[in-house]
Amino acid sequence: MTPTPGLVASCWTSAGNVAPLTKPETSPVPIAERLAAIASTGWAGFGLAHDDLAAARATLGLPALRSLIDDAGLRHVEVELLTDWWDEGLAPRWRPQFDLLLEAAEVLGARFIKVGTTIGEPLDDLDFLVEPLRRLTAEAASRGTRIALEPMPFSMVGNVPTAADLMRKVDMPGCGLVVDYWHVFRAGTTLEQLSASLQADQIFGVELNDAAAEVRGTLFEDTRDNRRLCGEGDQDVTGFIRALNTLGFQGPWGVEILSAEHRALPLGEALQAAYATTLACFPAESPE
């Protein structure tokens, strides 16, 4: 019998009726209810965004949240998202966010802190990010976690091959990538290009999802509102999983479903649909 892959409900998959760039980005679902729904639908882990972490720290406290996570039997925790970290002039804005993410990663046992870059046109020269990434990585290491950069086609770091080159320049084992399949195909990166550019030790996290072939609205709007459940769009989710297996990635596998349709569902129903459809896309030979 093939073992069940460890699936992680990335933060937006379990957040309920809230979307990126809403203010605040806080889930309307109470955290205890959210964790219970995640655990009861089979997930091995979950993610939380900064605003949810801030709300949890201000109410029940992070140690109590860790107890809830342990009681739910969830083995993997992810925390996100930090931006502006390369600009010391903006430190009054991003530094408090990073401090909270560091604290949360340490208390909750998060595998990495996800970071991103400014929305805009992708840049060709990313050398100015090397030293800031090294500083973030060193500080994260001192707190027992790592830094994971997520390339997005509507941001400064626009695709995985470019991001993998950046990781080679940073050259620190605690700095790697989150490889989101949505951003892979929306950037026009083929599975062959992905496999040729990446090394397994650069992959800290993976996010699975699906999409229609055509973009609706802007790239950001499409990303936020139109993701499909795995196997229900036009992308080769199974081929993507096979490509990462061949590279040597061992999981766990994140699932990030962001759509108006997903947000409208009752949380338990949304989580069960995301879990079952993702599991169905795994090839029979896929390792745990």
What is the domain partition of the chain in residue ranges? Answer: 7-118+203-280
Instruction: Report angle CA 37, 38, 40 to the nearest 5 degrees.
Output: 65
Can you tell me the mean pLDDT for 88-117? 97
- Quote the CA–CA distance of 115 and 170 in Å, as a whole number: 15
- What's the confidence (pLDDT) of residue 197? 97
Average pLDDT rounded to a whole number, residues 190-204: 97
- Looking at the chain, the whole-number percentage of residues with pLDDT higher than 70 is 98
Task: Give the per-residue pLDDT at 285.
Answer: 59
Interatomic CA distance for residues 99 and 143, integer angstroms: 11
Mean pLDDT score, 189-210: 97
Q: How far apart are CA 80 and CA 19, in angstroms?
A: 14
CATH of domain 7-118+203-280: 3.20.20.150
Q: Provide the H-helix boundaries in the chain.
A: 31-40, 50-58, 62-72, 91-108, 130-142, 160-170, 181-186, 191-197, 219-225, 237-247, 260-264, 267-280
Statement: the pTM of the whole predicted model exceeds 0.85: yes
